Structure 1
Amino acid sequence: MKKIILIGKTGSGKTTLCQKLHGKVVEYQKTQAINLFEHAIDTPGEYIENRFYYKALIVTAADADVIGLVQDCTEEDSFFPPSFAAVFPKPIIGIVTKIDLANNKRQVKAAEEHLQIAGAEKLFHTSVSTGKGIEELRKYLELD
């Protein structure tokens, strides 16, 4: 089983995704500090939104096997700088969240591009509401 650290802006769906991956009741919960799950590390969105906290992400990522960059496809902007993933000597995946809320395919494609520019090597498309992509991500993380 692989442990993943989820990095993404506030409201991108990191905590909800952690809850879903671990079979917990999905409920909104603002992450105030780093939360540890059995197979995931949930980080506050402020850690990617403020460069001052990049060091905390880098240090915390040492406990993970996989780096998960999370991008909400309903958001136009991304907080991931180009090649952001290069600071992590681990596999980097991109997770496009909230695909059920996308108004069109262009929004999903834009999210993919943000993640690829940041350095994501493999992409997953997920919807916690419909369950789409969750099983594929669980298999990649060897949680099944």
Structure 2
Amino acid sequence: MKNRTFSSLQNMDSDTAHTWPFMIFGGKSSGKTALLLALEGKNPSTAARSKGIDYSGWGIDISGEYCESGKLRRELVTAALKAKLLIVVQDATSDRLVFPLHYFLMYPHPKIGVVTKMDLPDADPQRAAGLLRAAGVDGEIFYVSVLSGEGISGLRDFLLKQDF
């Protein structure tokens, strides 16, 4: 097991042959970009809506439109080839699955789930976890709030211990 810090991962080369530690999937407004900022130690409240596929951070960040549109979803398969781990995000307040059932089973990558917005009063973590499992997430599920910071350090520690 390697002992890494975020700064050592952040300084990786950014050429086109580069492999990123992870890629974040999730629907529109599920909190993907805010989660990535929180994991990087940045202020998640500065998150702006992602456009396209963003390779500039610690992990690959994708726009929710890519996840929700069948026409765009095929682009994710190609982008995922550059990642070692898939992180699938589900908003704890949503009862909607944005991926087809068992969608992530087609990826050979390890997959973890992250339930976001746990600080909101209408959060339903069990429902969110069930939606992640229905989408094909077979790894560990983390429960976080990027605004309160709940669960972020545990997820960051998990990611830093991975053998990327």
TM-score using structure 1 length: 0.91
Unmatched 5+ stretches in structure 1? none
Identity %: 33
Q: Distance in 2 between matches of 1:7 and 1:92?
A: 10
Q: Distance in 2 between matches of 1:86 and 1:76?
A: 21
SS of equivalent to 1:11:
coil
Matched, 1:49 2:40: no
Partner of 1:97: 116
Unmatched 5+ stretches in structure 2? 1-8, 10-19
- Once the 2 structures are TM-superposed, how far is the Cα of residue 28 of structure 1 from its aligned partner? 3.0
Contact 1:5 1:68 in 2 (8 A): yes
Q: Distance in 2 between matches of 1:37 and 1:124?
A: 24
Counterparts in 2 of 1:102 and 1:127: CA distance versus 1, 3 Å: same
Residue deviations 1:114-141, cap 9 Å, x none? 0011111210101001111111111111
Contact 1:99 1:126 in 2 (8 A): yes
Give 1:16's match in structure 2, choosing from 34, 48, 60: 34
- Give aligned pairs, total: 142
Q: Which runs of 4+ in 1 moved over 3 A?
A: none
Q: Distance in 1 between matches of 2:108 and 2:78?
A: 12
SS of equivalent to 2:133:
helix
How well do the aligned residues superpose, as a CA RMSD in angstroms? Answer: 1.8
Partner of 2:15: none
TM-score using structure 2 length: 0.81
- Please say which structure displays the higher CA radius of gyration: 2
